[in-house]
Amino acid sequence: MRDINSGKELVEKISGFIKDYDFEIVAVENRSELTRFAESYIHQNVAETNLGLVVKIINEDRIGMATMNCIDDHSLSQNIQKVIEITKISPKLDYNYRLVPPQRYTLECKFSQKTAQFTPLARAQLINQLVKKVHQSKYNAAGAFTTEVNTLLVANSEGVFAFDRGTKVEFNCVITKKNSTAYYSFISEEIDDLDIERSTDKLLLTASRNTEQTEIEPGVYTVILSPEAVSEILNYTCYSAFNGKMIMEGQSFISNNRGKKLFPETVSISDDPFEKLTIPIPCDFAGWPREKVCLVKDGVIVDGVYDHNTALKYNKKCTANTLPPEHSSFGALPFNTVMKEGDNTIEEMISSTKKGVYISRLHYVNILNPMSIQLTGMTRDGTFLIEDGKLVRAIKNMRFNTSVVDMLKAVDMISKERQTKPGFIGSTVAPYLRTNNFTFSSKTSF
Amino acid sequence: MKKILKDILSWLETKVSYADLRFVQTEKEHIEVENGILSSYNVSTNRGVGIRVLADGAWGFAASNNLNRTSLLETANKALDIAQASSLVKKGEIKLAPEKKHLATYITPITKDPFQVSPSEKIDLLVKVTKAMLRDKVKKSEGSLEFIKTYKIFVSTDGSEIEQTIIESGGGIVASAIGEDDFQKRSYPSGLGGDYATCGYEFIEEMKLTENAERISEEANQLLAAPPLPAGKTDIVLGGSQLALQVHESCGHPIELDRVLGKEISYAGGSFLTLDKLNNFTYGSPEVTIVADATVPRGLGTFGYDDEGVPASKTYLINKGRLEGYLMSREDAVVLGLPSNGAARAENWNRIPLVRMTNVNLLPGNLDLDELIGDIKEGLYFDTNKSWSIDDKRLNFQFGTEVAREIKNGKLGRLYKNAIYQGITPEFWKSCDGISDKKYWKLWGIPNCGKGQPSQVMHVGHGTSPARFRKIKVGASQ
């Protein structure tokens, strides 16, 4: 799909093979390059050009899907015919399926020509700069540096047609020297936003503090979570709680708590593609134009997000959160999770903490109980004890088993500064956050 | 296709110290049914070529779905450019463990081709079982089937030419009992997407989904009314499917040599099984022997050759409790001065081979299951994974299971819900004092092992039979 015209040609071509049936098309063309380094050398360096095309055929409330990465006539015709035959023998849906009507799209993907043209050599040069600098302090560096161009096409037989192209840069790095480690991550559409010098300095500063870790006992603590850690918790919370399908099926914390004020008024969470820190796309994967959806407003639980299928089934409004067709049976996810900023600085948050723990990064988070949004996971790459308003020492990694509901109820400080981090789909904008209810359940020896 | 691959390989030969090309074509059917309604029937085809070169002592890899000769030459050129860029940040010349030239063909042995079974038969099966599960508080029932046929051609500058056809079949069912403010799931034959094998449709027939549907629905209903598991320290038995994930997370991943060498440290983490521990570390009790075996019939990690052209093999990783080996690629094996044991696998044509699990199997012991449970005065039987988490050195783990049953005076008793258990990997495996015998041993297929950047999902197997562990910390999620 070189341009919008080739997108239109593709739709026409597919339409010609389908003829008498309604259809939806999602195509994502991906040109992605990634350089991975560890022990301070490049050990993987890859580039990929690929196309993911999904054609969904609707035959009187019977649906079938064909997924392919080749769009020659033979592949298209063979796969589409197979799916048409399947729709003839499938049981009908238990609701009437309707296509999204034609829409106008105001949002655009963010695109940077410079990111699109960034070369493997240019990535290697930036990595080399970082590696050399951390070596001076006898640290090793490991991480990944991705640049990509994604072209999205969403269309259907009713006349929906969305076509856009965006870029993405992702960079992450861990530096290590024995037990001293630190982590930095970055996501944006613009390569010029990546400041390697500054990120290297940040890494070295955190790592220099994260040495000679000592143990603390498990228990309930006041913690300050970094944007990295907050975004991880938000991602799992969205996955577990704000999926409209799970809500309607009674399998989410939100199912019985819509309209309840459970959190302080400072806590607001939304899915907001218009927030300037996010990386948006113009529509969801059914063709609905993306919009802002309040999930938690001023401490009150509002509702979740809804995909096209769930909205049709339960007579709800689709919030433009339909996932790519191959994941449609999961339901919906926020694409651009945003936690509203507070008015504190991180320095104020630390200096006003009598006793607490600062968490830089979480590892291997998982859902323990969706009905209380209880999560488990580990801390890593910089966990610090705070006493009398100061980071006094590094501590060994801890396992947490904590309820996000209890954690958010006890939030008393949120930073003005927010950072963009990867979401499960799209991106997540998260601040620093202080809570007085965070449960560590066990410890480690490192 | 093979001719084009060989032509491009010839063109590369003078420019590289090593190169391999992989053509991969995948045909897949994925079917999902919810409450007797077909929610997804996805037929997919995917093909492309990945070109990996070692030039200037560094790696380059480029992949494309455009398969004409001109495009693939451009892709090869791109791989060379990338290798040149990689050489800017290197520690030394990358070397590969030597490997013989292989001219070979491998095909998964199957009895019933899943792609010849009609879509209606597959849909009917899932409709029937999901309807049968809708009883009492079970308001949601799910069933899924998946079939994959992967055809691969591998050619390398070592002279190898290998063609493989791997066929996989899998599926499972889930019953969700939904109450006022709680829901409980019961899955069969295992959690997290079902059970998979390199096998034909006979694997689905042997699962006996229909025969088990009502039972798991009844258990989901019972779980909804069951009390949460009280916290404490007690003796436990892990059922086979939960033990498969325990092996996966606490042995399979930390024993990957690339992870040990720090290559995954920024993302998935490192490993406590550092090189100084090889042949010099007590990982578990003498009961515990774990092998990586890519040759075992039906294993989801069974193949003829890995994606570096190394033959499938069997390696002792833990032998009677002692660390004896790692999962290795050709590049990483050089560090130990060993040949690769054939554990470099790529998800598809657009990914490079990484060190991955094949079938990492806990060998059976010599106890009957009745004896294993019979020796416990007070304890618990955990089975079917629900949640998992482990730290970045693979030491501190916590697993949640769908069910925990009380064991009292050697007999199974009441059901508990929201069960979790925690431990530290070597302490946990050292507490293992019994493993049930081979008649309880089964290969489990895990189709969703994630690793690497860009992410690669791998299909791996784990053979287990239920095992007993002493004085383990248990409790319930809140």
The ipTM value here is 0.93
- CA end-to-end span of chain B: 56
The reply to whether B335 touches chain A by the CB within 8 Å rule is no
Output the pLDDT for position A33. 97
The reply to whether A49 touches chain B by the CB within 8 Å rule is yes
Chain A residue with the nearest C-alpha to that of B396? A444
**A236 backbone φψ class: left, alpha, beta (φ>0; ψ -120 to 50):** alpha
Let me know whether A274 and A139 are in one domain.
Answer: no
The reply to whether B455 touches chain A by the CB within 8 Å rule is no
**CA neighbours closer than 13 Å in the CB half-sphere of residue B316:** 12
Closest Cα of chain B to A423: distance in Å? 14
Whether A60 is covered by a domain: the verdict is yes
Rounded alpha-carbon distances, angstroms, from residue B209 to B125, B128, B193, B217, B299: 8, 10, 14, 12, 20
Let me know whether B220 and B312 are in one domain.
Answer: no
> Six-digit token pair at A350?
């630390």
Output the pLDDT for position A3. 78
Q: What are phi and psi of B123, to 5 degrees?
A: -65, -45
Let me know whether A249 and A129 are in one domain.
Answer: no
Give the domain range for residue B239.
232-476
Chain A neighbors of B123, CB-CB under 8 A: 89-91
Let me know whether A44 and A189 are in one domain.
Answer: yes
| Contact yes or no for A30/A1 (Cβ under 8 A) | no
Average pLDDT over residues A285-310: 98
Let me know whether B214 and B238 are in one domain.
Answer: no
CB contact under 8 A, B453 and A37: no
Output the pLDDT for position A29. 94
Interface of A with B in 334-353 (CB under 8 A): none
Cα A110 to Cα A131: distance, rounded to the nearest angstrom = 30
| Contact yes or no for B123/A90 (Cβ under 8 A) | yes
Let me know whether B415 and B467 are in one domain.
Answer: yes
Output the pLDDT for position A6. 86
Q: Could you say which of A172, A196, A220 is where a domain stops?
A: A196
Give the pLDDT band of residue A146 (cuts 50, 70, 90): very high
Give the domain range for residue A88.
4-196
Q: Could you say which of B225, B256, B277 is where a domain stops?
A: B225
Let me know whether B267 and B149 are in one domain.
Answer: no
The reply to whether B267 touches chain A by the CB within 8 Å rule is yes
Output the pLDDT for position B478. 83
Q: Which of B385, B380, B401, B362 is nearest to B469 (CA)?
A: B380
Chain A neighbors of B90, CB-CB under 8 A: 41-42
Q: Which of B425, B426, B404 is nearest to B415 (CA)?
A: B404
> Six-digit token pair at B214?
């009502």
Output the pLDDT for position B248. 98
Q: Give CA angle at A183 (A180, A186), nearest 5°.
A: 165
Q: Could you say which of A147, A164, A196 is where a domain stops?
A: A196
**pLDDT tens profile B201-238:** 999 999 999 999 999 999 999 999 999 999 999 999 99
Chain A neighbors of B262, CB-CB under 8 A: 38-39, 140, 142, 176
Cα A155 to Cα B160: distance, rounded to the nearest angstrom = 45
The reply to whether A324 touches chain B by the CB within 8 Å rule is no
CB contact under 8 A, B389 and A366: yes
Output the pLDDT for position B192. 79
Whether A202 is covered by a domain: the verdict is no
Whether A126 is covered by a domain: the verdict is yes
The reply to whether B115 touches chain A by the CB within 8 Å rule is no
| Contact yes or no for B187/B219 (Cβ under 8 A) | no
Let me know whether A219 and A356 are in one domain.
Answer: yes
Let me know whether A370 and A429 are in one domain.
Answer: yes
Let me know whether A24 and A123 are in one domain.
Answer: yes
The reply to whether A144 touches chain B by the CB within 8 Å rule is yes
Cα B111 to Cα B352: distance, rounded to the nearest angstrom = 32
Q: What's the CATH code of the domain at A42? A: 3.30.2290.10
Output the pLDDT for position B387. 94
Closest Cα of chain B to A138: distance in Å? 15
Is it the case that residue A19 has pLDDT exceeding 90?
A: no
- Domains in chain B, number: 2
The reply to whether B176 touches chain A by the CB within 8 Å rule is yes
Among A131, A369, A445, beta carbon nearest to B478: A369
Chain B neighbors of A49, CB-CB under 8 A: 63-66, 75
**pLDDT tens profile A68-105:** 999 999 999 999 999 999 999 888 999 999 999 999 99
Chain A neighbors of B400, CB-CB under 8 A: 368
Chain B neighbors of A120, CB-CB under 8 A: 60, 81-82, 85-86
DSSP 8-state assignment for residue B57: T
Closest Cα of chain B to A203: distance in Å? 13
> Six-digit token pair at B144?
């899924």
Length of chain B: 478
- Domains in chain A, number: 2
Helix (H, G, I), strand (E, B) or coil at B242: helix
Give the pLDDT band of residue A438 (cuts 50, 70, 90): very high
Let me know whether A154 and A272 are in one domain.
Answer: no
Cα A24 to Cα A58: distance, rounded to the nearest angstrom = 8
The reply to whether A119 touches chain B by the CB within 8 Å rule is yes
Closest Cα of chain A to B366: distance in Å? 34
DSSP 8-state assignment for residue B334: G
Closest Cα of chain A to B262: distance in Å? 7
Let me know whether B38 and B124 are in one domain.
Answer: yes
> Six-digit token pair at B365?
């012991």
Count of CB pairs separated by less than 8 Å, A with B: 267
CB contact under 8 A, A63 and B119: no
CB contact under 8 A, A86 and B265: no
Q: Which of A432, A357, A433 is nearest to A400 (CA)?
A: A357
Chain A residue with the nearest C-alpha to that of B36? A91
CB contact under 8 A, B183 and A82: no
Output the pLDDT for position A96. 94
Closest Cα of chain B to A344: distance in Å? 30
Rounded alpha-carbon distances, angstroms, from residue A189 to A45, A114, A122, A425: 20, 10, 16, 15
Cα A397 to Cα A383: distance, rounded to the nearest angstrom = 7
Q: What's the CATH code of the domain at B57? A: 3.30.2290.10
Question: Cβ neighbours of residue B19 under 8 Å, at least 6 residues apart?
Answer: B9, B12, B13, B51, B52, B53, B54, B79, B156, B157
Whether A381 is covered by a domain: the verdict is yes
The reply to whether B470 touches chain A by the CB within 8 Å rule is no
Chain A neighbors of B454, CB-CB under 8 A: 32, 34, 46, 48, 146
Output the pLDDT for position B123. 96
Whether A201 is covered by a domain: the verdict is no
* Structure-token match 């076509």, residue found: A163
Length of chain A: 446
Whether A70 is covered by a domain: the verdict is yes
Among B36, B61, B89, beta carbon nearest to A41: B89
Whether A150 is covered by a domain: the verdict is yes
Let me know whether B218 and B236 are in one domain.
Answer: no
Chain B residue with the nearest C-alpha to that of A85? B119
Q: In which residue ranges of chain B is pLDDT below 50? A: none
Rounded alpha-carbon distances, angstroms, from residue B101 to A109, A173, B46, B328: 49, 38, 28, 19
Helix axes A196-209, A120-136, angle to 10 degrees: 30
Let me know whether B378 and B437 are in one domain.
Answer: yes
Let me know whether B118 and B221 are in one domain.
Answer: yes
Let me know whether A317 and A434 are in one domain.
Answer: yes
The reply to whether A380 touches chain B by the CB within 8 Å rule is yes
Q: Could you say which of A196, A228, A253 is where a domain stops?
A: A196
**pLDDT tens profile B320-359:** 999 999 999 999 999 999 999 999 999 999 999 999 999 9
Output the pLDDT for position A265. 98
| Contact yes or no for B303/B310 (Cβ under 8 A) | no
**pLDDT tens profile A22-80:** 999 999 999 999 999 999 899 999 999 999 999 999 999 999 999 999 999 999 999 99
User: How, if at all, do strands A374-387 and A355-369 pair?
Assistant: antiparallel
Output the pLDDT for position B337. 97
CB contact under 8 A, B392 and A75: no
Let me know whether A373 and A420 are in one domain.
Answer: yes
> Six-digit token pair at B303?
């193949």
The reply to whether A63 touches chain B by the CB within 8 Å rule is yes
Let me know whether A184 and A229 are in one domain.
Answer: no
Q: How many CB atoms lie within 10 A of CB B107?
A: 12
Q: Could you say which of B225, B240, B269 is where a domain stops?
A: B225
Output the pLDDT for position A446. 85
Chain B residue with the nearest C-alpha to that of A177? B262
Interface of B with A in 124-143 (CB under 8 A): 127, 139-140
CB contact under 8 A, A369 and B454: no
Cα A254 to Cα A246: distance, rounded to the nearest angstrom = 9
The reply to whether A220 touches chain B by the CB within 8 Å rule is no
Chain A residue with the nearest C-alpha to that of B450? A364
Chain A residue with the nearest C-alpha to that of B86? A42
CB contact under 8 A, A121 and B85: yes
CB contact under 8 A, B59 and A85: no
Let me know whether A118 and A228 are in one domain.
Answer: no
Cα B317 to Cα B394: distance, rounded to the nearest angstrom = 16
Chain B neighbors of A184, CB-CB under 8 A: none
Let me know whether A246 and A311 are in one domain.
Answer: yes
Q: In sequence order, what E strands does A282-354 have?
A: 293-297, 300-301, 336-339
| Contact yes or no for A208/A183 (Cβ under 8 A) | no
Give the pLDDT band of residue A427 (cuts 50, 70, 90): very high
Cα A246 to Cα A238: distance, rounded to the nearest angstrom = 11
Let me know whether B164 and B216 are in one domain.
Answer: yes
Chain A residue with the nearest C-alpha to that of B42? A65
CB contact under 8 A, A121 and B140: no
Rounded alpha-carbon distances, angstroms, from residue A201 to A145, A225, A408, A419: 18, 20, 32, 17
Q: Could you say which of B195, B225, B255 is where a domain stops?
A: B225
Output the pLDDT for position B235. 98
CB contact under 8 A, B391 and A120: no
Q: How many CB atoms lie within 10 A of CB A106?
A: 10
Among B61, B83, B178, beta carbon nearest to A251: B178
Output the pLDDT for position A133. 96
- CA end-to-end span of chain A: 50
Let me know whether B96 and B236 are in one domain.
Answer: no
Question: Cβ neighbours of residue B123 under 8 Å, at least 6 residues apart?
Answer: A89, A90, A91, B31, B33, B38, B41
Cα B79 to Cα B64: distance, rounded to the nearest angstrom = 11
CB contact under 8 A, B262 and A176: yes
Let me know whether B173 and B246 are in one domain.
Answer: no
Closest Cα of chain A to B469: distance in Å? 19
| Contact yes or no for A42/A35 (Cβ under 8 A) | yes
Is it the case that residue A2 has pLDDT exceeding 90?
A: no
Let me know whether B206 and B251 are in one domain.
Answer: no
Q: How many CB atoms lie within 10 A of CB A101?
A: 11
Rounded alpha-carbon distances, angstroms, from residue B445 to B42, B167, B388: 21, 13, 17
CB contact under 8 A, B181 and A68: no
CB contact under 8 A, A47 and B82: yes
The reply to whether A216 touches chain B by the CB within 8 Å rule is no
